[in-house]
Structure 1
Amino acid sequence: MKYITSFAAAVLILASCNSAKRAQRTPPPVPADSSVKVETASTDDTGNKKDTGALESISIVLGKLNHIDYTTFSGRAGVTYKAKGDTKNFDIKLQIHKDSLIWASVIGPLGIEVARGVITQDSVRIINKLNKQYISSSYVYLQEQLGLPLDLGTLQDLLVGNPVFIDKTNSSYTKQDDTLQVTSRTRFFSNLLSAMLPDYLPAVSKLEDVDAGRNRSAELTYGSYEKVNNAQFPKARTIHVKYKTDIEIQLDYKSYTFNEALNTPFSVPKGYKTKK
């Protein structure tokens, strides 16, 4: 598998992880501002656990989930890509302008750039420097690769480390000791998100396609949090997708900055063949 394939697949899978995952259960519909029982456990004077119930709206709980507000993001991550028994390791540079674009550069052996891509609201463009090929397409290109609904916003959230695919109008939650579990159902899948308390840091997100016939699932993990911008940034991610094949992507950020000027050059060299 060439690096451009790994790059394209990495970007596609990162997007697809927002679109199909296996959850442990399907949550029932819950109105956005309804109150639900918060399940907690504490100890009494004898050391035995006792229940302490409280009421808190789901919207308030979801508002406490760790979420990074930003204008721009820049980072470099080591990537391990596993699929069909093959493993590739490379670095990827990312530049993100919120709600506008994602710019990515794949760095191969000896620090040489082997691919570059730009994703906007309505276009996908990739330069394959190994094969001297230029790919220009709409989001249909991404959807055809995995057959999943995609959008720029959720892909950006996933790359930055924000929780994805939580529907406030159809969610519920429980708290137990130091763990929060949010169950949410959207048009395409159900989601079971586990977060670490007291900071409400996403730890594992599991999604299941609501259409069992599609047999699609995935799992996101977040870890190695560092304080940034009044929130916490998860430097380590694992994206494991099972659909037509089994793909696992590990992201380990080596450096990152927020809200600084971006440099996103993109031009197609002469002589490159165009593929649409």
Structure 2
Amino acid sequence: MRYLLTICLAAGLLTACRSTKKIQTAIAQKDTVAAATVTTSNESDSARAVHRVQTALDSNRIDFRSFTAKINVDYRDAEGKRYDLNANLRMIKDSAVWISVNAILGIEAMRMLITRDSVKLLDKQNKVYTARSIDYLQEVTALPLSLRTVQDLLIGNPVFLDSNIVSFSNTADAVNMVTLGRWFKTLLSLNTSDLTLQRIKLDDADITRSRTAELSYSDYEQRNNKRFATGRRINVVEKKKLDIALNFKQYGFNEEVSFPFSVPRNFKER
């Protein structure tokens, strides 16, 4: 069940809340994000460059009423075990996320329904039904997750950014911006030519755990006047490595969707 949440949310990455003082101490001792330097000629140019990036982030942000997708998932856990799965995803903005995960021969293994206040799971292989409050997402992933954050992760919008920008730089290949927030130090990399999101690097504030994670975005397609990344990759490194690749094979916006979720009588509740 834990690995299902990791796959579905693409978010089992870093630890939760730390005090501001501890974050600042951790950043000073463990700078896993290379320090970026402002390459513009003066402070005014720097402000304009940052504003351009923020405007691009707002412009490229994907808004939707509903979203559907079929996703190929290549998941390798910390023990090196590999899972090749297919997932069907349905979402209504600010309302629900429904995910069905199919294993070998297209047999449904699990089904998940996330709403504003609850998380429900059907483990069809073990015939187990689990119902929890939305806080269960934070308990399992140790992340400050909400329904909206989960939807942003799945749709490909930036997550865990903060308005406190500590560095900014331009290179030949990318525009880089580092923000320091309550939870993470975040490195954001955008494509130089069209300012589409290429990479998010998150550093854990807790130096005793030394965890770091990278989310990469590729294979963009134009749909509904928005650029959508059909290729995603999530890498998590602590003592062991976790690797997830998501390939969106089919997807659509603003279609009619339903969330079938019935509990068979022979399922045990846990």
More strand by share: 1
* Conservation of the 8 A alpha-carbon contact between 2:203 and 2:213: yes
The residue correspondences of 1:164-243 to structure 2 (distance < 5 A) are: 164-243=159-238
Whole-Å separation in 2 of the counterparts to 1:94 and 1:25:
36
Give the deviation of 1:57 after TM superposition. 5.8
Structure 2 residue 79 is matched with structure 1 residue 82? no
Tell me, in whole angstroms, the C-alpha distance in 1 between the residues paired with 2:234 and 2:168. 23
TM-score of the superposition, structure 2-length normalised? 0.83
Whether 2:24 is the aligned partner of 1:15: answer no
CA distance in structure 2 between the aligned counterparts of 1:220 and 1:67, rounded to whole angstroms: 16
Give the fraction of aligned pairs with identical amino acids, expressed as a percent. 37
Distance (whole Å) between structure 1 residues aligned to residue 139 and residue 228 of structure 2: 31
1:22-50 Cα deviation digits (max 9, x unpaired) = 851478xxxxxxxx95649xxxxxxxxxx
Q: Within the alignment, does 1:141 sit opposite 2:136 as a pair?
A: yes
Correspondence for 1:72 among 66, 71, 92: 66
- For residue 72 of structure 1, what is the amino acid of its counterpart? S
CA 1:163–1:23: 2 relative to 1, 3 Å:
farther
- 149, 158, 164: which one pairs with 1:154? 149
Q: How far 1:112 sits from its partner (Å)?
A: 1.7
Is 1:24 the counterpart of 2:58? The answer is no
Q: Is 1:256 aligned with 2:251?
A: yes
Question: Could you say which structure has the larger radius of gyration?
Answer: 1
TM-superposed deviation, 1:140: 3.4
Residue 132 of structure 2 aligns to which amino acid in structure 1? S
Q: Structure 1 residue 160: deviation in Å?
A: 0.8
Give the superposition deviation at 1:243.
4.3
Separation in structure 2 between the aligned mates of residue 145 and residue 194 of structure 1, nearest angstrom: 28
Tell me the alpha carbon deviations over residues 26-81 of structure 1, each in whole angstroms, 9 at most, x when there is no partner. 78xxxxxxxx95649xxxxxxxxxxxx66506344212023212111100000011
Q: Which amino acid in structure 1 is aligned with residue 12 of structure 2? A: S
Counting matched residue pairs gives 250
CA distance in 2, matches of 1:95, 1:75: 7
- CA change 1:99–1:273 in 2 (3 A) is same
Instruction: Specify whether residues 39 and 18 from structure 1 end up closer, same or farther in structure 2 by C-alpha distance, changes over 3 A only.
Output: farther
For the aligned residues, what is the CA RMSD?
Answer: 2.5
Gaps of 5+ in 2: 17-30
Contact 1:15 1:154 in 2 (8 A): no
Counterpart secondary structure, 1:81: strand
TM-score by length of 1: 0.82
Write the distance in 2 (CA, Å) between the matches of 1:248 and 1:189: 20
For residues 85-121 of structure 1, the C-alpha deviation after alignment (integer angstroms, 9 at most, x for no partner) is 1001010000011122110000122222111101122
Q: Partners in 2 of 1:104 and 1:9 — Cα distance?
A: 12
Task: Pick one of 93, 97, 116 that aligns with 1:121.
Answer: 116
Unaligned runs of 5+ in 1: 28-35, 41-52
Question: Could you tell me whether the CA contact under 8 Å between 2:64 and 2:253 is conserved in 1?
Answer: yes
